[in-house]
Structure 1
Amino acid sequence: MKLGEAEHRRELRSYYWGFAGAVVLTAFSFLAALWQPFGPFVAYCGLGAFAVAQIIVHFRCFLHLDLTRQKREDLQLLLFTFLIIAIMIAGTVWILGSLMDRMM
């Protein structure tokens, strides 16, 4: 077996595990939304946990981001991008909430 062939198999295995994990987490999310035995708050917390788990699966299996030294800069860049997006969303919600309070 050649070196490139082994790497190709490892990458395909990562994609298969990522796809299976994404399908399972999506199914659990739908089940948590449809079947709420402990009330809506617990269902919302479960949906949030499944969403975070699915983000981790996508980062690890599809984007090949991990905590090795080589890929750490890519992960930091991605986290900084999410921070900027979160600040923009929070600012928008804050401004729209303030406008709603002033109009009521």
Structure 2
Amino acid sequence: MDKKMNFPMSHVFGFLLSLLLTFVAAAVALKTTLSFQVVMWIIGTLAIIQAGLQLYMFMHVTEGEDAKVNLINIVYAVFCAIVIVAGTIWVMSFGLHNH
């Protein structure tokens, strides 16, 4: 049976949660007396939570015929992102050697 809604309440709820996470990150960055490293960890954690929220609410990761394929695609995308970020940091940190 197809469940049909006229107004996408889950999308509105996801949007409001994303806005809340963004405003919390901005408040932590602008109005806190914590150290720089702690602020970066908090903002990074909020960013990961927001990415998961958006995958769940807007990208419909849990929907579809084959959830295993969706999981494999997400794991592969995370792996690619880690390789790109780690490689960029490595090159920028140790790329100043003379040849």
**TM (normalized to structure 1)?**
0.77
- How many residue pairs get matched? 98
Give ranges in structure 2 of 5+ residues lacking alignment: none
Give ranges in structure 1 of 5+ residues lacking alignment: none
Distance 1:18 1:71, change over 3 A: same
Q: Runs of 4 or more off by more than 4 Å in structure 1?
A: none
Give the distance between the partners of 2:59 and 2:15, measured in 1 at CA: 12
Judge which range, 67-76 or 78-87, deviates more. Answer: 67-76
Q: Does the 8 A contact of 1:33 with 1:43 survive in 2?
A: yes
For residues 6-17 of structure 1, the aligned pairs below 5 Å read 6-9=3-6, 12-17=8-13
Aligned residue number for residue 88 of structure 1:
84
- Once superposed, what is the RMSD of the aligned Cα atoms? 2.5
**TM (normalized to structure 2)?**
0.80
For residues 10-89 of structure 1, the aligned pairs below 5 Å read 12-66=8-62, 70-89=66-85
Identity among equivalent pairs (%)? 18
Larger helix share, 1 or 2? 1
Higher relative contact order (CA 8 A, sep 6+): 2
